[in-house]
Amino acid sequence: MDTNKKNYGIMTKALHCGWSGDPETGAFGLPIYATSAYKFRDTAHASDLFSLNESGHIYSRLSNPTVAAFEEGLNALEGGVGCLATASGHAAFVHLIAALCSSGDHLVVSDKLYGGTTTLLKDIFARFGVTTTFVDIDHPCQVDQAIREETRGVIVEIIGNPTMNVAPLETLARLCARKQVPLIVDNTFATPVLCRPFEFGAHVVVHSTTKYISGNGNLIGGAVIDGGTFDWAACPEKYPGLAKPDASYHGLVFTEKFGKAALYAKLHTSILRDLGGCPSAFDAYLLHLSLATLPLRMQRHSENAATVAAFLEQHPAVDEVNYPGLESHPQHDMAKIYLKEGCGGMMAFSLKGGLEAGRSLIEKLQLISHMANVGDSRTLIVHPASTTHSQLTQEERRAAGIGEGLIRLSVGIENVEDIISDLHQALEAANK
Ligand SMILES: *Cc1c(COP(=O)(O)O)cnc(C)c1O
């Protein structure tokens, strides 16, 4: 990042980082570089690019200027040393795990995760010999006990899905550092506006940019941000891809050549090159546009959600509301530390009438949309047990805190009276 932008506030960074205009044409808007590849100046330039002796664009699977502008913007917001944008949140996890793990390696992962991430680890990575131990991160001693010699990372979500448990970041970061294992935080629900995990000792951040970062529900995307805070070179046997010679670059050692940004460099120049889950320039353009309003939107999501959570909590038909901003939430104190600027728009609640009442509520809503997505600027609702977490067994759902009647609400940025009035009429109708 432009070092003179380092000390700006989050709103200024969101508007100015990543792109400040085209020096040649003066164009202020970010162009969509719709190109597969890039002309070399001469043969020396070409071979310098290929050997990483010079940075620059070769082929859009590896990098693209529109994508780079978005990556730089998001990296600036998180405060990392480099960001890799990917075609989806899942692709972000696939590329990151491929950079850190080989067959025989192991991960320690929160048991309250986005259902798709759990399936990816259990079904795909397990077949390639990377195994996972799922633990309850609300009890960090479980994480401590599960880490073994082969462990290559601990993965948590800043706010768990859909129970809204807040990760004890500092405790986890401290024990991960002691065991020489990176703490990987999926920051999708908070975004860097509400929480910057690197400030609390995390080493890597992952996003599904499909959600709040887009905010428009118009694309699928993901990102990995390297905090530059993990010393891969201190344990080369564990992370040979980063700290030992890379045969595909004639023996280059990423930690030697790129220092703190070794993981970022590895992800971009080697993992993305080989796995190929790159985003399109058009999607990166849309995401870069969305970054500009992210701080305003997150502020509004948080305010609206706090009002909606308070409304639901006092409603006689509601059994329980999970929202970290509520005093009744088990990790409310944790939220005060890690989510100082607001708790975002995600909550879950259950009705006294159970599954049937939940179903009926969803049917009666008029403004709020019934969809398997979150983080849209429009308010969305879903029943996890029959949709997003339906691939899990009932047993696994119970471990993840997903009751059969639980409803997940992603509060948007509409006028909050309209959201509440829609919930109110649907609760009344469902109660009849
Ligand atoms: C949606 C989501 C993902 C997966 O991202 P995709 O963009 O759908 O591939 C991962 N983590 C969290 C917390 C999510 O909400």
160 and 329 Cβ atoms separated by less than 8 Å: no
Candidate of 164, 194, 208 to mutate for ligand 1, largest count of ligand atoms within 8 Å of Cβ: 208
Confidence check: pLDDT of 386 > 90:
no
pLDDT at 174 > cutoff 60: yes
Beta strands in 2-105 (DSSP E): 82-86
State which H helix or E strand residue 207 sits in.
strand 204-208
Q: Which residues pair with 345 in a beta bridge?
A: none
Ligand 1 pocket test, candidate residues 88, 95, 114, most atoms within 8 A of CB: 114
Counting from 1 in the atom list of ligand 1, the atom nearest the Cα of 92 is 9
Ligand 1 pocket, residue 89 CB under 6 Å: yes
Strand stretches in 288-399, DSSP E: 318-322, 346-351, 369-370, 380-382
Q: Would you say the C-alpha torsion 272, 222, 214, 300 has a positive or negative sign?
A: negative
Q: What is the residue with the minimal CA distance to atom 4 of ligand 1?
A: 89
Q: Are 52 and 246 in contact (CB under 8 A)?
A: no
211 lines ligand 1 (CB under 6 A): yes
Residue 177: CB partners within 8 Å, gap ≥ 6? 183, 201
310 lines ligand 1 (CB under 6 A): no
Tell me: the pLDDT tens digits for 223-257? 999 999 999 999 999 999 999 999 989 899 999 99
Bridge-based pairing of strands 380-382 and 204-208 is unpaired
Residue 116 Cβ < 6 Å to ligand 1 = yes
With residue 407 as reference, give the H or E element that holds it.
Answer: strand 406-410
Residue nearest ligand 1's atom 8 by CA: 89
CB crowding 319-342: b at 16 or more within 10 Å, else e: eebbbbbbeebebbebbeebbeeb
Contact 115 CB / ligand 1 (< 6 Å):
no
Rounded Cα gap, residues 42 and 221, in angstroms:
34
Q: Give the pLDDT score at 3.
A: 55
Pick the atom of ligand 1 nearest to 117's CA: 10
Q: Which amino acid, 164?
A: M
Is the separation of the CB atoms in 262 and 234 below 8 Å? no
Q: Which of 187, 166, 183 shows the shortest CA–CA distance to 174? A: 183
Predicted local distance difference test score (pLDDT) of residue 397 = 79
Q: In the block, which residue shows the tokens 């696939």? A: 94
11 C-beta closer than 6 A to ligand 1: no
Task: Please identify which residue in the block is written with the tokens 């890690």.
Answer: 338
Nearest-atom index, ligand 1, CA of 210: 7
The closest residue, in CA terms, to atom 5 on ligand 1 is 89
Dihedrals phi, psi of 113, to nearest 5 degrees: -120, 160
The per-residue pLDDT for range 106-128, each reduced to its tens digit, is 999 999 888 889 999 999 999 99
Q: Terminal CA-to-CA distance of the chain, rounded, Å? A: 58
Q: Are 298 and 194 in contact (CB under 8 A)?
A: yes
Q: Specify the 3-state DSSP secondary structure of 46.
A: helix
Q: What integer pLDDT is reported at residue 396 of this predicted model?
A: 80
Distance 84 CA to ligand 1 centre (A): 16
Beta-carbon contacts of residue 333 (< 8 Å; ≥ 6 apart): none
Q: How far is the CA of 188 from the centre of ligand 1 (A)?
A: 7
Q: What are phi and psi of 145, to 5 degrees?
A: -70, -30
What is the rounded distance in angstroms from the CA atom of residue 46 to the CA atom of residue 48? 6
Closest of 382, 397, 385, 387 to residue 347, by C-alpha: 382
> What pLDDT does 4 receive?
62
Does ligand 1 have an atom closer than 6 angstroms to the CB of 377? Answer: no
Q: pLDDT by residue (tens digit) across 257-274?
A: 999 999 999 999 999 999
Ligand 1 midpoint to CA 96 (Å) = 14
Ligand 1 atom closest to the Cα of residue 90 is 9
Would you state the structure tokens that stand for residue 127, as one six-digit string?
């077949």
DSSP 279: P
pLDDT the model gives residue 80 = 98
Q: How far apart are CA 178 and CA 201, in angstroms?
A: 12
Among 103, 120, 48, 125, smallest CA distance to 240 is for 103
Token match 């950079």: residue?
Answer: 99
Q: What percent of the chain has pLDDT over 90?
A: 86
Taking CA atoms only, the protein residue closest to ligand 1 atom 9 is 89
**Locus of tokens 């995307």:** 221
Lowest-confidence region among 150-159, 170-179, 188-197, 381-390: 381-390
Q: What is the DSSP track for 57-73?
A: -SBTTT--HHHHHHHHH
Question: 347: CA distance to ligand 1 center in Å?
Answer: 16
The predicted pLDDT at position 170 comes to 98
Average pLDDT over residues 77-101: 98
Band (pLDDT 50/70/90 cuts) for residue 2 is low
| Number of other CB atoms surrounding residue 316 within 10 Å | 7
What is the residue with the minimal CA distance to atom 2 of ligand 1?
208
Say if residue 425's pLDDT is above 70: yes
Per-residue pLDDT for 78 more than 80? yes
Cα–Cα distance for residue pair 324/194, rounded to 1 Å: 13
CA torsion sign for 386, 387, 393, 399 is negative
Q: Considering the entire predicted model, what is its pTM?
A: 0.96
Residue 234 C-alpha to ligand 1 middle, in angstroms?
32
DSSP state of 197: G
pLDDT band at 350 (very low <50, low <70, confident <90, very high): very high
- Return mean pLDDT, the chain: 94
